[in-house]
């Protein structure tokens, strides 16, 4: 079996563009991969086209470790966001093909079923005003949909430092969310790598009584010194990793015990194969994996199959119930969270279990959608124009 064809489809939404890669073999079996690239869709497409022609067309889809070696080593440049994202799209599609060819779900090829339910968390606070009462109602809607965990960035467009009044505003938002969802729902505090070590420590002190279940990317993710200072000053769990693209980048954080939960994104870290390689690393240091996931249904399906089989898995991120819920329709068989317990069920279909609906994809052409975390109003994620305001 050899791959003989590669197609690229891009689905557009206000704040994200979903790059879908479909690989087809000479036996007629096709597989899907999907990546939400952060602000560089054209760059990703170029990498997929170049690397696909060089290494993917003509390969046996079972040879995924060789494909990874070709892109990560034979290319000579160090693995980074773009190359690892292109590899992830290929890798997901190859796993999909292999599952279909054997008529089994991908998780059975990853070591089998470790759990029967896969907990998820949502980001349902987006697209509302940065006001405690508004976000309180949005958070309640997340819990009403069955989720037992949610994530929030209440810090506006803060960068490096944050004033005391803005810290108090963020705290008021978090306190209103806690009031709305009760004591047992997990609140994950998203910090988007905004802060210096000193600012992050001030925030951690402020929010201690809200008891967030983690502080996510409190400082720039490569800032080992500031993270070490924060680690020594707070009892709150620290999560990071969505912007780490290869195993060696985790070494200083693992060796010093600086991170409790690793949020590696399989769409930016070489796909399912890349994330599988990290299970042993993180398990050896008694840490957890909570895959970062801002994809549509294809990337979500890939992360879900990984999560079914991963022994040190914590929880899976999921956007699609609250951000662009029409993305469910771009495939048949999209994974959905059960409102009874806020969990995904174990997939049962062969491969990733999803089939592309090209007619639905065509209804949502490219938008130029992107994130601009340091522009006022970014959190509404409603239009590209929000991110192109003139400077004051």
What number of helices (H) and strands (E) belong to the chain?
Answer: 12, 14
* Separation of alpha carbons 123 and 323, rounded Å: 8
**Residue of higher predicted confidence among 78 and 127:** 78
Contact 285, 257 (CB under 8 A): yes
Percent of residues, the chain, with pLDDT higher than 70: 97
Tell me the pLDDT tens digit for each residue of 75-112: 998 899 999 999 999 999 999 999 999 999 999 999 99
Q: Supply the pLDDT for residue 390.
A: 40
Inform me whether the pLDDT recorded for 22 exceeds 90: yes
* Separation of alpha carbons 81 and 269, rounded Å: 8
* Separation of alpha carbons 198 and 232, rounded Å: 12
Tell me the pLDDT tens digit for each residue of 129-181: 788 999 999 999 999 999 999 999 999 888 999 999 999 999 999 999 999 99
Mean pLDDT of 257-279: 97
**pLDDT band at 192; cut points 50, 70, 90:** very high
Parallel/antiparallel/unpaired status of strands 214-216 and 238-240: parallel
Q: Supply the pLDDT for residue 283.
A: 95
* Separation of alpha carbons 53 and 107, rounded Å: 28
Block residue for tokens 């600086």: 258
* Separation of alpha carbons 114 and 71, rounded Å: 31
Q: Residue 74: is it exposed, middle or buried by C-beta count within 10 angstroms (0-12/13-18/19+)?
A: exposed
Q: Where are the beta strands (DSSP E) in the chain?
A: 3-12, 17-25, 30-36, 117-122, 149-152, 186-190, 214-216, 238-240, 261-262, 288-289, 316-318, 331-332, 343-345, 355-356
Inform me whether the pLDDT recorded for 5 exceeds 60: yes
SS (H, E, C) 335-357: CCCECCCCEEECCCCCECCCEEC
Percent of residues, the chain, with pLDDT higher than 90: 86
**pLDDT band at 254; cut points 50, 70, 90:** very high
Q: Supply the pLDDT for residue 370.
A: 80
Q: Supply the pLDDT for residue 383.
A: 64
* Separation of alpha carbons 268 and 83, rounded Å: 8
Q: In what order do the strands lie in the sheet with 30-36?
A: 3-12, 17-25, 30-36
Give 83-141 as a DSSP string: HHHHHHHHHHHHHHHHHHHHTSBHHHHTT--S-SEEEEEE-TTTTS-S-HHHHHHHHHH
Nearest to 265 by CA among 14, 18, 35, 91: 35
Helix (H) or strand (E) holding 163: none
Tell me the pLDDT tens digit for each residue of 210-242: 999 999 999 999 999 999 999 999 999 999 999
Q: What value, to the nearest 5°, has the Cα angle with vertex 8 and ends 324 and 320? A: 15
Nearest to 67 by CA among 209, 273, 322: 273
Parallel/antiparallel/unpaired status of strands 331-332 and 149-152: unpaired
Inform me whether the pLDDT recorded for 382 exceeds 90: no
Q: Residue 359: is it exposed, middle or buried by C-beta count within 10 angstroms (0-12/13-18/19+)?
A: exposed
- For the chain, what is the mean pLDDT? 94
Inform me whether the pLDDT recorded for 392 exceeds 70: no
* Separation of alpha carbons 187 and 200, rounded Å: 17
By annotation, the residues acting in catalysis are: 192, 292
Inform me whether the pLDDT recorded for 371 exceeds 90: no
**pLDDT band at 333; cut points 50, 70, 90:** very high
Q: Supply the pLDDT for residue 251.
A: 93
CATH numbers and ranges of domains, the chain:
108-349 (3.20.20.120)
In order of 40, 115, 128, the CA distances from 352 in angstroms are 26, 17, 33
* Separation of alpha carbons 371 and 243, rounded Å: 14
């Amino acid at each position: 079996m050899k791959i003989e064809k590669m197609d690229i489809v891009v689905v557009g939404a206000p704040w994200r563009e979903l790059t879908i890669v479909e690989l087809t073999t000479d036996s007629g079996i096709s597989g899907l991969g999907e990546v939400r690239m952060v602000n560089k869709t054209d760059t990703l497409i170029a990498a997929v086209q170049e690397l696909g022609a060089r290494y993917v067309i003509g390969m046996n889809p079972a040879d995924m470790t060789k494909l990874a070696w070709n892109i990560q080593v034979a290319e000579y440049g160090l693995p980074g966001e773009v190359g690892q994202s292109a590899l992830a799209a290929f890798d997901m599609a190859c796993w999909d093909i292999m599952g279909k060819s054997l008529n089994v779900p991908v998780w059975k090829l990853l070591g089998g079923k470790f759990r029967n339910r896969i907990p998820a968390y949502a980001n349902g606070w987006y697209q509302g005003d940065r006001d405690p009462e508004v976000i309180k109602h949005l958070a309640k809607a997340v819990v009403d949909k069955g989720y037992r965990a949610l994530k929030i960035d209440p810090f506006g467009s803060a960068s490096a430092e944050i004033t005391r009044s803005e810290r108090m505003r963020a705290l008021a938002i978090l306190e209103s969310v806690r009031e709305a969802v009760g004591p047992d729902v997990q609140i994950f505090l998203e910090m988007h790598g905004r802060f210096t070590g000193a600012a992050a420590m001030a925030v951690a002190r402020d929010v201690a009584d809200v008891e967030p279940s983690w502080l996510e990317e409190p400082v720039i993710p490569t800032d080992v010194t500031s993270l070490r200072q924060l680690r020594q000053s707070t009892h709150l769990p620290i999560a990071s990793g969505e912007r780490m693209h290869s195993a060696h980048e985790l070494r200083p954080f693992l060796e010093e015990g600086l991170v409790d939960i690793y949020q590696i994104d399989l769409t930016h870290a070489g796909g399912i194969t890349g994330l599988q390689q990290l299970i042993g690393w993180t398990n050896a240091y008694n840490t957890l994996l909570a895959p970062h996931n801002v994809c549509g249904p294809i990337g979500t399906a890939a992360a879900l199959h990984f999560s079914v089989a991963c022994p040190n898995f914590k929880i899976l991120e999921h956007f699609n119930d609250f951000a662009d819920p029409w993305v469910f329709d771009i495939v048949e068989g999209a994974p959905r969270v059960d409102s009874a317990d806020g969990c995904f069920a174990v997939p049962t279909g062969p491969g990733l279990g999803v089939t592309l609906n090209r007619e639905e994809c065509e209804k949502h052409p490219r938008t130029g959608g992107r994130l601009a975390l340091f522009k006022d109003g970014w959190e509404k994620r409603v239009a590209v124009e929000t991110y192109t305001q003139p400077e004051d």
